Structure 1
Amino acid sequence: MTRQLNKNTLLNAVDIEKLCDAAAREVDIEVVQETGSTNADLMSRLPLLQRPVLRVAVHQTAGRGRAGRPWLTVPGGMLTFSLAWHLPQAPQNLLGLPLAIGVALAECLNTLNQNVQLKWPNDILRDGKKLAGILLESAAASEGGTWIVAGIGLNLQVSDELEAQVGRALADAPWLAQMDRNLLLAQLLNALASALQQFAGHGFSAFLPRWNALHAYANQSVHILDHGQILHAGIALGVDLLGCLVLQTEQGQVNVLAGDVSLRPAT
């Protein structure tokens, strides 16, 4: 059986801006019908940017996830966008930023009754399945600090064909798919702009307890995989101030840096 995709994918930059809070109105909003990757588009323009930019694509043909993995999309079935933003911190002080962005998105989605949780380091889960993912890229800014580009892919309606391509069950949000897309995107941008302002002033410390409160695998047995091989096994306790996963193993406590490793529940 194939789920019917909602064709109401109309997005308009002016309409999105009208629905934004003050902080989000400082962002230049761009909507394109199709592009390869919104993250790649913005990363290529960072040396020229003067203001934050939100770039939204109805369809991405070369979307990317962590470690260069492809992010497959279906036109109209997902919300795919990237946000370029300047932060005062140096790149090495942004380790907790992907988690902070996850908190902002999850809290926003939960105000829309989505009941989501966070999977370390950068996935948003609903009913144990992936609803959204985050790809964070950055470059040192010539004026000091760092330009970051946060790419987000949010499943709204997922076809069985896409699940077959991905090779696992995915979560979607049919109720969000019925929302006005401009309103949904404005609410997500409001949450992101507020979070990035907060991170600029306080770093990850402002988000640490909020992330742990949304932790999908809190106090559960997990495996940390590196290229498919088990690197660590233990109980996931939470995250620390650097955004590392705190794992209680048989050998003692281990703080795992995200890098290219992945978390899986132990079976």
Structure 2
Amino acid sequence: MKDEILQMLKSRKDFISGQELCEHFQVSRTAVWKVMKQLQNDGYEIEAINRKGYRLIASPDVLTVPEILSVMTTEVMGRKIYYYDCLGSTNDQARMLAEQGAEEGSLIIAETQNTGKGRMGRAFFSPEGCGIWMSLILKPEIPPMDASMVTLVGAMAVHEMMQDYGIAAGIKWPNDIVIDGRKVTGILTEMSAGPDRINYIVIGIGINANMKFFPEELEKTAISMSMVTGENYHRAEIIACVMDHFEKNYREFLKTGDLRFLKERYNAGLIHKDKEIDVHEIRRVWRGISRGINDIGELIVSSDEGDVIVRSGEVSIRGVYGYMK
């Protein structure tokens, strides 16, 4: 009943009467009052006025399942949530749950990670109470060779969330979100597949939301939404916003089978579009001009040898993550 009352309070801009709640749940006014006290103890600010009822004034920044679901607007993505106070890695937990049959759209969230992973095996800083550390389970019926495009769909969803919040962020191909040359979001996609079918994809997303500072070794390379604007963000609402954008773009991707539908938007957000970059491949590093992505998310780079298609690897840009030529 507590979770349902919370959702009812969030759905009303004005007061909801105690009598209506009593009749809806077939309980006494005392039972309703006790639930309101429990919600207040959880940090919800609730106004109570005789003959008017109850009204939600403010919600705490908590990542409980009821709080996240109360603001979720999707049909599939994030409708099933697994929440943990602490995990080694949300991606590891998501892979385990996917192996056990967790459905598509299942969202794994941790308040903190102690072995969070980034791309190329790097550690990911995941402190408690100020960031968003989540992994989404997907089971698309697409060829395994097309799975890399899902990473760009994830990057687009986070970029569009930043736009909704009025934050001038950019994309560093293929999947980092950057503000003023420093990383605000990292994305790590992992897959289990056979020769011709995908068992599941796990897309991990780490968003620096409310950090006020970073360890010395990250001061020049990391930034948070809060450090940019001075505001504190309601993390459940950020999660819901990302899931909403992801669901819309993911559906379109499954329909079209490529990224033509978002290529223009993605390229408009690239911080290195038409700029000189270094491309770090396994056996060599070379220089060229970034021209944006093609229809399947590969990076087009102009070099002395003509236009080259970059399918994987790292790119580095002057002034990003402390990199200077």
TM-score band by shorter chain is 0.7 to 0.9
Which residue number in structure 2 is paired with residue 10 of structure 1? 62
- Matched residue, 1:190: 244
Partner of 1:55: 108
Q: CA deviation at 1:24?
A: 4.0
Equivalent AA in structure 2 for residue 35 of structure 1:
L
Relative to its length, the structure with more strand (as a share) is: 1
Tell me the distance in 2 between the aligned counterparts of 1:247 and 1:33: 43
Maintained 8 Å contact 1:27/1:51 = no
Match of 1:82 in 2: 135
Could you give the per-residue CA deviations for residues 40-82 of structure 1, whole angstroms, max 9, x where no partner exists? 1011222322342101111000000112111122212321111
Closer/same/farther in 2, CA of residues 172 and 207 from structure 1, 3 Å limit:
same
Larger Rg: 2
**Post-superposition offset of 1:157:** 3.5
CA contact (8 A) 2:72 2:79 kept: no
Equivalent residue, structure 2, for 1:214: 269
Provide the C-alpha distance between the structure 2 equivalents of 1:18 and 1:252, rounded to a whole number of angstroms. 52
Deviations along 1:141-172, one digit per CA (max 9) or x if unpaired, are 8995442111011112445452x233733121
Equivalence for 1:104: 157
The answer (yes or no) to whether the contact 2:172–2:270 under 8 Å persists in 1 is yes
Aligned mate of 1:66, from 119, 138, 141: 119
Instruction: Give the distance between the partners of 2:275 and 2:77, measured in 1 at CA.
Output: 41
Residue from 42, 56, 80 that aligns with 1:28: 80
Partner of 1:3 in structure 2?
none
* Aligned twin of 1:249: 303
Q: CA RMSD in A?
A: 2.4
Secondary structure of the residue that 2:139 maps to in structure 1? strand
Structure 2 Cα separation of the partners of residues 220 and 128 of structure 1: 14
Question: Is 1:168 paired with 2:220?
Answer: yes
Contact 1:91 1:146 in 2 (8 A): no
TM-score of the superposition, structure 1-length normalised? 0.87
Please give the alpha-carbon distance, in whole angstroms, between the structure 2 residues aligned to 1:82 and 1:176: 27
Compared CA separation, residues 261 and 52, structure 1 to 2 (3 A):
same
Query: Unaligned regions of 5+ residues in structure 1, if any?
Result: 1-7
Q: CA deviation at 1:220?
A: 0.7
Find the counterpart in structure 1 of residue 89 from structure 2: 37
Q: Is the 8 A contact 2:108 2:135 kept in 1?
A: yes
In structure 2, relative to structure 1, the CA distance for the partners of 1:26 and 1:179 (3 Å cut) is closer
Match of 2:260 among 196, 199, 205: 205
Percentage of pairs with the same residue: 22
The 4+ residue runs of structure 1 with deviation greater than 4 A are: 141-146
- Alpha-carbon distance between aligned partners in 2 of 1:79 and 1:212, rounded to the nearest angstrom: 25
SS of 1:34's equivalent in the other structure is: strand
Cα offset for 1:101? 1.3
SS of 1:55's equivalent?
strand
Q: What is the TM-score with the length of structure 2 in the denominator?
A: 0.72
Query: Secondary structure, in 3 states, of the residue corresponding to 2:279?
Result: strand
Q: What is aligned with 1:133?
A: 186
The gaps in structure 2 that reach 5 residues or longer are: 1-59, 319-323
Q: Are the equivalent residues in 2 in contact too, given 1:123–1:133 (CA < 8 A)?
A: yes
2:148 match: secondary structure: coil
The size of the alignment, in residue pairs, is 257
Give 1:12 deviation, angstroms.
Answer: 1.5
1:262 aligns with 2:262: no
Q: Which moved more, 1:31-40 or 1:75-84?
A: 75-84
CA drift at 1:254:
0.7
Give deviations 1:165-206, integer Å, cap 9, x for gaps.
337331211158622222221111212222222221123222
